[in-house]
Amino acid sequence: MQAMTDDEPCPPFRLWDAEQIVRRLAPALREHGEWIQRIHTILVCRSDPDPDDIKPGGHLRAGLGQWFEQEANAFIRSQPAYDEATRRHREVHALARALCQSVHEDAAIERATYEEFAAAVNALDNNLEALVKEIWDLLRFTDPLTGIATRYAMLPRLKQERDRADRTGDTCSICMVDLDRFKNINDSYGHDAGDKVLEAVSDYFVGNLRRYDQAWRYGGEEFVLMLPNTSPQSAFPVIDRLRRGLAELPIDIGEDRDIRITASFGLAALESDRPVADSIGKADAAMYEAKRAGRNLVRLWTENSDARAKPGLAEAALDDEQDTESG
């Protein structure tokens, strides 16, 4: 599989994805560490290597190499550390093969040759560490209730998409979503029912968006959706279908009881020449227009939208954005 290019949008990433990657990667990393230790033992003790150690293509037989080849998650494959680690892993095996061949032939090993191998091992370790950190960061910024990313993962991702749109000239839309009268559910059925509604709505969004679209839980009963390569006008029918489907979705809250919920949606462009917080504020203003118009509606941001519909949201996003920049 080929890695994604910088000008291709990244697919979404969920808690389940990270857990599955860790489950597959952990044994491969352990095996890799044991292999490095065995190669050093061969070099230090001048013990005869295994036949596989001097055969070409050792990186493909290794568990870590198989993980690189078989890992299908497009988000991880899009990370710079993934490509670099793949290349370094191939290099480490090629250098180890040459060293083992020298031992097998009882030939001397040049210091520079060994130092090149050691440097390659160290560089690979650094790449793998960066890749694992990326996975754990994603876990850390994933909402444990719904399994989708939180606002703290949202802002860097929106900046990435804004910069990509700036390079390519593509248009990206963002949508602010607020569940209608959600407090009534908590008051009428309890907070466990409210949690079930949030889980169901999150699953519905993820299951009904396109491959490269993404949903985040902004907080409480608010969500943010991103639709790359889509203008707000083109996104409108997509979001309206999402709205209608959500209103018809039966949500099981236990005790053989289903309820339904609606949401208000506000659409705006992710402007490539403006701070992300500005675009979030416009989507939020459009969403509040939908609320004022009667709820369970989609509204596009226009110049006439009330940008002060909910003071504090854009400012909170800006604070997050500045924290991310400084971090």
**Which sequence positions are flagged as catalytic?**
221
CA–CA separation, 96 and 43 (whole Å): 10
Question: Which helix (H) or strand (E) covers residue 265, if one does?
Answer: strand 263-269
CA–CA separation, 141 and 151 (whole Å): 8
Q: 3-class secondary structure for 295-322?
A: CCCEEECCCCCCCCCCCCHHHHHHHHHH
CA–CA separation, 85 and 94 (whole Å): 14
CA–CA separation, 29 and 73 (whole Å): 18
- Judge whether 302 and 290 are in contact, CB under 8 Å: no
Query: Which contacts of 30-33 are long-range, i.e. CB under 8 A and separated by 24 or more positions?
Result: 31/62, 31/63, 31/64, 32/62, 32/63, 32/64
Residue 149, classified by CB atoms within 10 Å of its CB into exposed (0-12), middle (13-18) or buried (19+), is: buried
Q: Tokens representing 24?
A: 């597959």
CA–CA separation, 284 and 314 (whole Å): 8
CA–CA separation, 232 and 270 (whole Å): 9
Give the CA count within 13 Å in the CB-facing half-sphere of 102: 16
